[in-house]
Amino acid sequence: MSAMASILVGVVVLLSSIEDNVLERFDRSLADRHSQLVAALNSAADAPETLESRLFDPAYATPFSGRYWQISSDDGRVYTSSSTFGFTLQEPQGGPEDLSIASISGPEDERVRSVFQQITLEDGSVWNVSVAESLTALTKERMQTRRSLLLAFVFVGLLGLAGSIVQTTSILRPLDKLRQDVATRWEQDRDLKSTDYPEEVAPLVEDINELLSRNRDVVTRARRQAADLAHALKTPTAILRNELALLSAQNHDMGASLDALDRVDAQLGRSLARMRASNSGSAARVRTDLSKSIDRFTRLFSAMAEKQGKGMRSASAPFLTIRMDKQDIEEVIGNMLDNALKWCENEISISASKKNYGVEILIEDDGPGIPEGRERDALKSGGRLDSSKPGTGLGLAIAIDLLQAYGAELNLERSDALGGLAVRIFIPSRARPALPLKAAA
């Protein structure tokens, strides 16, 4: 902006200077013609009516040509060029003896530039001598000068802009390459090579390498701690569950205690899932072969469904790859299939396909579904709309936490194919901010 402002100021100043020079040259030409008229008058003072024949300029003989002269004596005699066609030029008050230059009205109200001077000839006679010329030529010259100058500045400005773009592009190209390499090397767990960039960028590359290394350590440490914590908690909760089972076998009512322990397990699972998601999510830039995961879940849940006298359908496009950690997406799918199998009457299904710059997973069942208007309640943490089936109601909440870390969408809908609940999950192909999870009737 400052460069453009400087150019504009320069244009204005230069235009003003050039126009002043044009006007000065115009006035100088008028002054020269005034001198010619004075010289002619000096030699024809006794016969002023012969002046026109002494001035060899055809414009003075052509009516309204735009070039005029006029002389007047102190006794009121006035002589003009034929070009005035009887018009009398205005003379300044006081009859100045120095050259007086002004813009006045000429014949037919035309604006003219006039040079006036009162002179005293050698014979002692006093004459007012005026020479005038139309400003039309001056205006045309000024317009032409402006046009030429503006075209020159536009050309120079375009060259400067093109040069700036080329220079900026050249400067930013290493930084753009660095940005792309950072994403690629993070996925491949490799450092950047400072020799691949200009030496001005090399210190930045070293700093980025150090930052990438620290981030990898932080993510790895956090995920390992979450895994260690989960493993450490499994043993005491298993012991508690066994003790409660023994007490229950001795005819003690342990139903409430077992239910509370289930909720503790589920809450711990959700908290650990949140910890894992916060240290992976879109920043991890990992990729998972979704097709293999769905094949594995199809085999597992088909066997489980067969034991319960139910069926499962599966349809997945080949070579589906998503930007999501394998453990995270499998926990989401596992929770949703577990719910579907729990509530279905006879059949569940899962399908996956590419859609709108991402991958869509659809899990359906032929169960009762969610009552109309209660979809939002089901998405709340621990929300259970029906307690007739065992569970804590946290499976959906855990899935939501994991999906939010990757900017994914989850919709609860009515299944068109099976009539029960349909869980529609959309995972974008590119990382983006977390999106609100919706429920649709």
Of 284, 312, 330, at which residue does a domain stop? 284
Q: Are residues 218 and 322 in the same domain?
A: no
Whether residues 246 and 124 share a domain: the answer is no
In a domain, 157, yes or no: no
Would you put residue 15 in left (φ > 0), alpha (ψ -120 to 50) or beta? alpha
Same domain, 126 and 244: no
**Residue 54's domain is classified under what CATH number?**
3.30.450.20
Phi, psi of 238 (to 5 degrees): -65, -40
Residues 348 and 366 placed together within one structural domain of the fold: yes
The pair of structure tokens assigned to 273 is: 């899932």
CATH number at residue 335: 3.30.565.10
**387 and 251 belong to one structural domain:** no
Same domain, 350 and 260: no
Q: How far is CA 102 from CA 82, 285, 308, 397, in A?
A: 22, 79, 111, 89
- Residue 260 and residue 305 in one domain: no
Domain final residue, candidates 253, 284, 315: 284
User: Can you list the positions of beta strands (E) in 15-125?
Assistant: 67-73, 78-80, 100-105, 111-120
Q: Which residues of the chain have pLDDT under 70?
A: 1-4, 6-7, 11, 183-190, 223, 227, 230-231, 234, 266-267, 269-286, 373-394, 430-441
Give the neighbor-by-neighbor strand order of the sheet with 78-80: 78-80, 67-73, 126-134, 111-120, 100-105
Count up the domains in the chain and report the number: 3
Residue 26 lies in a domain: yes
Q: What is the pLDDT of residue 420?
A: 92
234 and 198 share one domain: yes
Evaluate whether residue 368 is within a structural domain: yes
For residues 350 and 295, state if they share a domain: yes
* Residue 209 shares a structural domain with residue 114: no
Q: Write down which residue in 249, 284, 319 finishes a domain.
A: 284
How many whole angstroms separate alpha carbon 179 and alpha carbon 186? Answer: 11
- Are residues 304 and 241 part of one domain? no
**Residue 59 forms part of a structural domain:** yes
In terms of domains, do 133 and 203 share one? Answer: no
Mapping DSSP to helix (H, G, I), strand (E, B) and coil, where does residue 139 land? Answer: helix
Per-residue pLDDT at 185? 63
Q: Is 167 domain-assigned?
A: no
- Domain containing 91 equals 2-141
- At residue 418, the pLDDT reads 92
Q: Is the residue at 173 inside a domain?
A: no
First to last CA, the chain: 53
Q: Is residue 170 part of a domain?
A: no
- Give the pLDDT confidence of 377-396 residue by residue, as tens digits: 666 644 444 544 544 456 78
Looking at the domain assignment, is residue 155 inside a domain?
A: no
